[in-house]
Structure 1
Amino acid sequence: MKERFLVNGGTRLEGVVGVDGAKNSVLKLMAATLLTEGTTVLHNCPEILDVPLMRDVLVGLGCEVDIDGPVVTITTPAEVSPHADFEAVRQFRASVAVLGPLAARCGEAYVALPGGDAIGSRPLDMHQSGLEKLGATTHIQHGAVVAKADKLVGANISLDFPSVGATENIVTAAVLAEGRTVLDNAAREPEIVDLCDMLNSMGARISGAGTSTLTIDGVEKLSPTEHTVVGDRIVAGTWAYAAAMTQGDVTVTGIAPRHLHLALAKLRVAGADVETYDHGFRVRMQGRPQAVDYQTLPFPGFPTDLQPMAIGIAAIANGVSVITENVFEARFRFVDEMLRLGADANVDGHHVVLRGVEQLSSTDVWASDIRAGAGLVLAGLVADDVTTVHDVSHIDRGYPRFVENLNELGASIERV
């Protein structure tokens, strides 16, 4: 039976909430353990549905995986299967992160085309092209991407777009390639830096993490390690926007504020008081937020994963806001649900124009992906009655203790 959330509107959020490790990092770190034989321990892992899903993928490849709260222990055997199971892989997008490690470790990889959120086309062209420049052959066959290479050799690679997934797969393949790989127009996200930090602690030689050019000098082998997952900036940003939308006062811990620099700057423009600390920040809002324009871009731009929260705050802001989506073309499906809630929104291509209303109207809405689901809950917090959010399993894939955290901050949400 599908679960749903009943969200009572009109509550103000206040208090302290901690952030666990990043969903967009932990799954890639788990996949990277395929590069070495032995036991790697990951700390600060979020307790979300996608972690056991990635465990299932790794177990299918021959690993032993133990999940004990925020600690994930992965033991990789001397011989790894190159065949990633279809049933496990198809459930979430991050499963494609095993492609690069398998190509490097096994010389071949068979990875079913991944599933995941309905936010638009996300082809594997750049993943395949990068592996081919390293010496592999790739093709799509029977619903799977197939890569084979007798030997991977370093190369100069330039991405057409700073794709996070392609950057990750190219890096995890190149660390065991012969010679030097230079990757230009690489993704710069904090999760990429986190992956490179862990790989370097395993014995890789990667420089330039956090910039648009990565240099990877291949090594013969890597060793197991212990690593603490970077804090989840998207979860932290969600709490920040929830505080501003509900005219609340929320302190968020466990995150480097520089990872959310632009998102927090936009809240300041909207009228919020934002204080930053070494490992957290505080957002206070008095009165109705002011209209602000947003456009999503790769890091350090405004995150596409926070676009639903930008639409949510714009829907109740004083004035007219324009939100531009430059990353995933189908993310505006979320707007249809906001219209149900009484938002005054008009979609024009990859722009949406919102004329803020003082209060949204409660109704039934449906989550199409992780961030849209969270955004709908935030919208329900500022609606006039009880909003029912359906298909909340999406939210559980990306937010640990979502309902519990919100209720501890003063919300009134029930899971049924």
Structure 2
Amino acid sequence: MKRMIINGGKKLTGEVTISGAKNSAVALIPAAILADSPVTLEGVPDIQDVHSLKEILEMMGVKVTFKDNVMVIDPREMVSIPMPSGKINSLRASYYFMGALLSKFGEGVVGLPGGCYLGPRPIDLHIKGFESLGASVTTEHGATYLRTKEEGLHGTRIFMDMVSIGATINVMLAAVKAKGRTVIENAAREPEIIDVATLLNNMGAKVRGAGTNEIRIDGVEELHGCRHAMIPDRIEAGTYLSLAAAYGEGVKVKNVIYEHLESFLSKLEEMGVNMIIEEDTITVHPSPELKPTNVTTVPYPGFATDLQQPMTPLLLCASGKSMVIDTIYEKRINHIPELVRMGADASVEGNMIILNGSKDLKLEGGEVTASDLRAGACLVIAGIMANGTTKISNVGNILRGYDHIIDKLTALGADVAMEEN
């Protein structure tokens, strides 16, 4: 088991370059198997989730190379094999194989998704979408069995009862080779969905309306390989911006798409964070007088649920009371007891996180646990700000989603290392 050791109290300065989007990568990699020739993905983050997906592909006979953030996926010798357990269970985004396998082979067996536990993550919207397209879906012994009739999938109109990134992408993957037109209403609008649609269109699909609440897909018979550069990770960008605002002395965050972060950046401006926003960089200067603010997470283009935890240490630096309500994952509160152990004045009341901040905030290093990916990011920021040494266990949760985090933090001047324990 690894632990992250942070000797805090060192202000950060310098530049950090944001990697490709984790939430794109975990959908683009399964999407690539729909091609009948190799697909090259550029900007793929070097994270645990990506290595898990690579292993799953190799189990199915796909040839995969991954070097210098470029992944080449050759699915020409791919075979459909059941994937009821193992790697597939440890990875929430493995459920994108459902739509991809259904589209490619007309069948699939996929273990129910794992990943971080943030409360219930029902896949009933995914199943409803597949059934609307003409598939039969059954669940036995913790695995989902997907089958189509001989005539295959057919286009249809699907209304999403709630906005769901996962279900929107999965139905897109299933529908690209279905006969006729599929219309997804109340579709999620995240940038990662546009990224997946761009890849599919580069492969020869006909997907229109991605990024709006209505996506139209005209089925095609075959898809071909292509080259695709993925978007930068807006959540990683928000994490480093939070860190820079909380404990930086001039930090430039590079490879950022400003439009993907508008709701987050407006909160930083509300707090009085001193930023210079340029074409693809954001420079954060010291901001001594921060104001408290309230955050409510909602689907894109609103404030992202994945950014409320990394932003918490920054909110603690503002003099006064801030409140956070997560309407997406109400159980996304496991970082709060850990912060309290480090000396934060924070509590959970009902579905609300209450933070009493101070510009003279003093956190103390301690032994804490990263219960999930973004809670881990929160604790890394807190550890860098704290006096003394912080030891974070369960660090695998952090490595699932942050590319070269030790190297990037060290380059900014943090004293951070991995330790085998």
The normalised TM-score by structure 1 is: 0.97
Structure 1 residues 210-219 or 381-390, which shifts more?
381-390
Q: How does 1:282-361 map to 2 (within 5 A)?
A: 282-357=283-358, 358-361=361-364
Cα displacement (A) at 1:98: 0.6
**Separation in structure 2 between the aligned mates of residue 181 and residue 259 of structure 1, nearest angstrom:** 27
8 Å Cα contact 2:62/2:77 also seen in 1: no
Tell me, yes or no, if structure 1 residue 264 matches structure 2 residue 265: yes
In the TM superposition, structure 1's runs of 4+ consecutive aligned residues that sit over 3 Å from their partners are none
**Separation in structure 1 between the aligned mates of residue 272 and residue 286 of structure 2, nearest angstrom:** 7
**Separation in structure 2 between the aligned mates of residue 157 and residue 42 of structure 1, nearest angstrom:** 30
What is residue 362 of structure 1 aligned with on the other side? 365
8 Å Cα contact 1:82/1:108 also seen in 2: no
8 Å Cα contact 2:38/2:226 also seen in 1: yes
Cα displacement (A) at 1:288: 4.5
- Aligned mate of 1:407, from 407, 410, 415: 410
Q: Residues 72-110 of structure 1, C-alpha deviation per residue, up to 9 Å, x if partnerless?
A: 111102553152252120111111111001111111111
Q: Residues 280-318 of structure 1, C-alpha deviation per residue, up to 9 Å, x if partnerless?
A: 211223214221111111111111111112222122321
Cα displacement (A) at 1:248: 2.8
8 Å Cα contact 1:10/1:383 also seen in 2: yes
What is residue 47 of structure 1 aligned with on the other side? 46
Aligned AA (1:182): V
What is residue 401 of structure 2 aligned with on the other side? 398
5+ residue gaps, structure 1, are none
What is residue 206 of structure 1 aligned with on the other side? 207
Q: Secondary structure at the match of 1:38?
A: coil
Tell me, yes or no, if structure 1 residue 163 matches structure 2 residue 160: no
Q: Residues 339-398 of structure 1, C-alpha deviation per residue, up to 9 Å, x if partnerless?
A: 111111121222111111422122111001111111101011221221111111111111
What is residue 378 of structure 1 aligned with on the other side? 381
Aligned AA (1:15): G
5+ residue gaps, structure 2, are none
8 Å Cα contact 1:12/1:248 also seen in 2: yes
Aligned AA (1:352): I
**Separation in structure 1 between the aligned mates of residue 81 and residue 253 of structure 2, nearest angstrom:** 41
What is residue 13 of structure 1 aligned with on the other side? 12
> Please, what is the CA RMSD of the aligned residues?
1.3
8 Å Cα contact 2:18/2:256 also seen in 1: yes
**Separation in structure 2 between the aligned mates of residue 206 and residue 282 of structure 1, nearest angstrom:** 36
Q: Secondary structure at the match of 1:120?
A: coil
Pick closer, same or farther for the CA change 1:101–1:82 going to 2, 3 Å.
Answer: farther
Q: How does 1:121-132 map to 2 (within 5 A)?
A: 121-132=120-131
What is residue 26 of structure 2 aligned with on the other side? 27
Q: Secondary structure at the match of 2:299?
A: coil
Aligned AA (1:388): K
**Separation in structure 1 between the aligned mates of residue 161 and residue 81 of structure 2, nearest angstrom:** 28
Tell me, yes or no, if structure 1 residue 37 matches structure 2 residue 36: yes
Q: Secondary structure at the match of 1:309?
A: helix
Q: Secondary structure at the match of 1:90?
A: helix
Aligned AA (1:360): L
8 Å Cα contact 1:82/1:106 also seen in 2: no
Aligned AA (1:371): R
What is residue 223 of structure 2 aligned with on the other side? 222
Cα displacement (A) at 1:221: 1.0
8 Å Cα contact 2:61/2:79 also seen in 1: yes
**Separation in structure 2 between the aligned mates of residue 353 and residue 120 of structure 1, nearest angstrom:** 20
Pick closer, same or farther for the CA change 1:247–1:66 going to 2, 3 Å.
Answer: closer
**Separation in structure 2 between the aligned mates of residue 65 and residue 284 of structure 1, nearest angstrom:** 42
Aligned AA (2:45): P
Q: Residues 109-167 of structure 1, C-alpha deviation per residue, up to 9 Å, x if partnerless?
A: 11011211122211110000000001111121111111111211111111111111101
What is residue 111 of structure 1 aligned with on the other side? 110
Structure 1 residues 270-279 or 214-223, which shifts more?
270-279
Q: Residues 156-198 of structure 1, C-alpha deviation per residue, up to 9 Å, x if partnerless?
A: 1111111111011100001100111110111111111000000
**Separation in structure 1 between the aligned mates of residue 77 and residue 347 of structure 2, nearest angstrom:** 56
Aligned AA (2:377): A
Aligned AA (2:146): A
8 Å Cα contact 1:181/1:217 also seen in 2: yes
Pick closer, same or farther for the CA change 1:334–1:170 going to 2, 3 Å.
Answer: same
Aligned AA (1:372): A
**Separation in structure 2 between the aligned mates of residue 240 and residue 310 of structure 1, nearest angstrom:** 9
**Separation in structure 1 between the aligned mates of residue 17 and residue 85 of structure 2, nearest angstrom:** 35
The normalised TM-score by structure 2 is: 0.96
Aligned AA (1:308): Q
Q: Aligned residues: percent identity?
A: 38
